[in-house]
């Protein structure tokens, strides 16, 4: 069929406009027979982009189930590998450093004769502590320089914390004669808290539980401060004890004016000097720097005038104006008794003024072992 035209049998019987107006639209048998019919398939009628249904490959559900199982197995293996690596960490976990017990040595200093007395002002201004400074002003920080592993700020924090400890444990009147210990204990490493508490509550002359190693303490029932002024002189030094630890050594002499605490009238010239030299070794790690606390490793204390036989574990036992040391020596040690032995030491108190030495050089601020 090539277009509109007449049928092969000739024109229709009725012309256009006849009574059968729509006869031209009816195909007769010869026209239908001569026409070529072509029917498009469903795919051809819908077009290629409109495919909504696709044929499934053979074995589809089984293949999908295998893929799902493989995915689950892969996830399980990845999880197991992560757990194994977590338990088998190739980098060793750093071991935290534990604070060791404080070791204390307290040496009584016995006078050669009677203890001289006087007014507090005369004793301080004309005695061996005349050149000392008063209170915390006598605890000076050295020149601060950074070390290999610590900045100058960290070194300053360590030295300042040690100074705070010295002020609280040696200059606070409530600590000296009032039995207050909290200002001192709060500056210590928590691992030393139990030892500190036992030392101040139940002191013992065993080298580990002596209250006078942690702080300066007098029995308030026996003596009292004759004047609040306390003279101090000494040095602070620091050095690295490891890549994560600083060692600080304090060496200070404290001079107090004391009198009897027995109730009754007191003369103005019945005061006497009492001297305590404390050489303390501290360790400060990075956690201590952050929390501003200390670990005390050792305390060497010389205090007098005292008798050599004085029991100074719980409190120092000063000899007051006019008193003399007894003739007994230091407390002995029984070698058959188990436990830590007592340190049976005693020294002689020299009242003469010390000759001033040369000022420490720059190396003295670096190493605690560089000082004589």
Please report, for the chain, how many H helices and E strands are present, in that order: 10, 8
Look at 131 and 56; give whichever has higher pLDDT.
131
pLDDT score for 66? 79
DSSP 346: -
Is residue 121 pLDDT above 80, yes or no? yes
Rounded to an integer, what is the distance from CA 260 to the centroid of its chain? 43
Q: What is the pLDDT of residues 346-369, one digit of tens each?
A: 888 876 434 444 444 434 434 433
Contact predicate 110/304, CB 8 Å = yes
Position 79 confidence tier, pLDDT thresholds 50, 70, 90: confident
What region does 231 belong to: left with phi over 0, alpha with psi -120 to 50, or beta?
Answer: beta
Q: State mean pLDDT over 158-167.
A: 98
Give the residue carrying structure tokens 């050095």.
239
d(CA 65, CA 60): 9
Q: Distance of CA 358 to CAs 346, 353, 364, Å?
A: 29, 16, 12
Q: What is the pLDDT of residues 23-72, one digit of tens each?
A: 556 666 776 676 666 666 766 666 655 555 555 555 556 666 778 888 88
d(CA 102, CA 80): 47
pLDDT score for 65? 78
**Model's pTM, two decimal places?**
0.68
pLDDT score for 332? 57
pLDDT score for 56? 54
Tell me the three state secondary structure of residue 78. Answer: helix
d(CA 34, CA 13): 20
Is residue 163 pLDDT above 90, yes or no? yes
Handedness of CA 159, 183, 314, 317 (dihedral sign): positive
pLDDT score for 35? 65
């Amino acid at each position: 069929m090539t277009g509109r035209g007449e049928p092969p049998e000739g024109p229709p019987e009725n012309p256009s406009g006849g009574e059968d107006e729509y006869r031209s639209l009816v195909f007769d048998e010869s026209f239908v027979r001569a026409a070529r019919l072509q029917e498009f398939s469903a795919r051809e009628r819908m077009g290629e982009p409109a495919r909504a249904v696709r044929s499934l490959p053979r074995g589809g559900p089984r293949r999908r189930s295998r893929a799902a199982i493989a995915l689950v197995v892969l996830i399980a293996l990845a999880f197991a590998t992560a757990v194994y690596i977590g338990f088998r960490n190739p980098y060793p976990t750093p071991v935290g450093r534990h604070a060791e017990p404080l070791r204390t040595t307290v040496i009584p200093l016995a006078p050669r004769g009677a203890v001289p007395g006087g007014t507090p002002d005369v004793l301080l201004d004309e005695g061996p502590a005349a050149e000392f400074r008063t209170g915390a002003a006598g605890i000076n920080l050295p020149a601060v320089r950074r070390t290999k592993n610590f900045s100058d700020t960290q070194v300053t924090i360590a030295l300042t914390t040690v100074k705070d400890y010295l002020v609280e444990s040696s200059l606070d009147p409530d600590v000296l004669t009032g039995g207050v210990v909290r200002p001192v204990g709060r500056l210590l490493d928590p691992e030393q808290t139990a030892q500190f508490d036992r030392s101040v509550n139940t002191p013992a002359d065993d080298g580990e539980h002596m209250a006078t190693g942690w702080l300066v303490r007098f029995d308030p029932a026996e003596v009292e401060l004759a004047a609040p002024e306390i003279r101090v002189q000494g040095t602070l030094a620091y050095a690295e004890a490891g890549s994560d630890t600083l060692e600080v050594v304090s060496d200070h002499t404290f001079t107090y004016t004391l009198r009897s605490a027995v109730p009754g009238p007191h003369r103005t010239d019945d005061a006497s000097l009492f001297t305590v030299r404390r050489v303390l070794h501290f360790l400060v790690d990075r956690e201590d720097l952050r929390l501003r606390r200390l670990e005390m490793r050792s305390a060497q204390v010389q205090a007098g005038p005292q008798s050599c036989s004085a029991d100074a574990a719980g409190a120092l036992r000063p000899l007051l104006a006019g008193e003399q040391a007894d003739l007994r020596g230091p407390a002995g040690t029984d070698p058959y008794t188990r436990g830590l032995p007592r340190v049976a030491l005693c020294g002689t108190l020299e009242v003469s003024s010390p000759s001033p030495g040369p000022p420490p050089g720059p190396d003295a601020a670096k190493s605690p072992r560089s000082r004589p």
